[in-house]
Homo-oligomer: A and B are copies of this chain.
Amino acid sequence: MADELADGTPTGTTTLTDVARAAGVGESTASRVLRGHGSFSAKTRESVLNAARSLGYVPNRIAGTLASTGSKLVGIVIPSLSNIVFPDMLRGANTVLVGAGFQPVVAVTDYEQGREETLIESLLSWRPAGMMVAGLEHTERTVAMLRHARIRVAELLDSDGDGIDIVVGYSNREAGGASARHLVSRGYRRIGYVGHDLSRDLRAAKRFAGFRSALAEGGLEVAAEEIIPSSSSIEAGRDGLGRLLGRAPDLDAVYFSNDDMAIGGYFHCLARGIAIPGRLAIFGYNGLDVARAAPQPLSTIRTPRVAVGETGARLVCSDGPPTKIDLGFELIEGATT
Residues of A within 8 A of B (CB): 3, 5, 7, 9-13, 56, 58-63, 65-66, 71, 81-82, 84, 87-88, 90-91, 94, 98, 103-108, 121-127, 141, 144-145, 147-151, 233-235, 238, 263-264, 267, 270-271, 289-290, 292-295
> Taking CB as reference atom, which chain B residue is nearest A14?
B148
Contact of A61 among B5, B12, B59, B125 (CB under 8 A): B125
In the bound assembly, the distance between CA atoms of A82 and B145 in angstroms comes to 32
Contact of A148 among B9, B90, B125, B149 (CB under 8 A): B9
In the bound assembly, the distance between CA atoms of A65 and B66 in angstroms comes to 10
Q: Is the CB of B12 within 8 A of A151?
A: yes
Q: Count copies of this chain in the complex.
A: 2
- CB neighbours of A147 from chain B (8 A): 9
Q: Is the CB of A60 within 8 A of B125?
A: yes
Q: Is the CB of B235 within 8 A of A12?
A: no
- CB neighbours of A58 from chain B (8 A): 121, 124-125, 145, 149
A sample of 10 inter-chain contacts (CB < 8 A) reads A5-B148, A10-B121, A10-B124, A10-B149, A12-B149, A58-B149, A81-B87, A98-B108, A234-B289, A271-B295
Q: Is the CB of B91 within 8 A of A150?
A: no
> Taking CB as reference atom, which chain B residue is nearest A270?
B295
Q: Is the CB of A149 within 8 A of B11?
A: yes
- CB neighbours of A295 from chain B (8 A): 267, 270-271
> Taking CB as reference atom, which chain B residue is nearest A118?
B98
Given pairs A104-B105, A263-B293, 5 additional interface contacts (CB within 8 A): A9-B148, A12-B151, A66-B66, A84-B87, A98-B107
Q: Is the CB of B60 within 8 A of A62?
A: no
> Taking CB as reference atom, which chain B residue is nearest A71?
B62
Q: Is the CB of A62 within 8 A of B59?
A: no
> Taking CB as reference atom, which chain B residue is nearest A141?
B9
- Considering the complex of A and B, which 5 residue pairs feature the smallest CB-CB distances, nearest first? A9-B144, A271-B295, A234-B293, A12-B149, A61-B125
> Taking CB as reference atom, which chain B residue is nearest A269?
B295
Q: Is the CB of B62 within 8 A of A126?
A: yes
In the bound assembly, the distance between CA atoms of A234 and B294 in angstroms comes to 9
In the bound assembly, the distance between CA atoms of A28 and B184 in angstroms comes to 68
> Taking CB as reference atom, which chain B residue is nearest A84?
B84
In the bound assembly, the distance between CA atoms of A71 and B61 in angstroms comes to 12
Q: A60-B125, A60-B127 are in contact. Are A108 and B94 (CB under 8 A)?
A: yes
- CB neighbours of A88 from chain B (8 A): 81-82
In the bound assembly, the distance between CA atoms of A264 and B290 in angstroms comes to 8
In the bound assembly, the distance between CA atoms of A63 and B84 in angstroms comes to 35
Contact of A238 among B144, B150, B293 (CB under 8 A): B293
- CB neighbours of A104 from chain B (8 A): 105-106
A109 to B: closest C-beta gap in Å: 11
Contact of A264 among B90, B264, B267, B293 (CB under 8 A): B293
Q: Is the CB of B293 within 8 A of A267?
A: yes
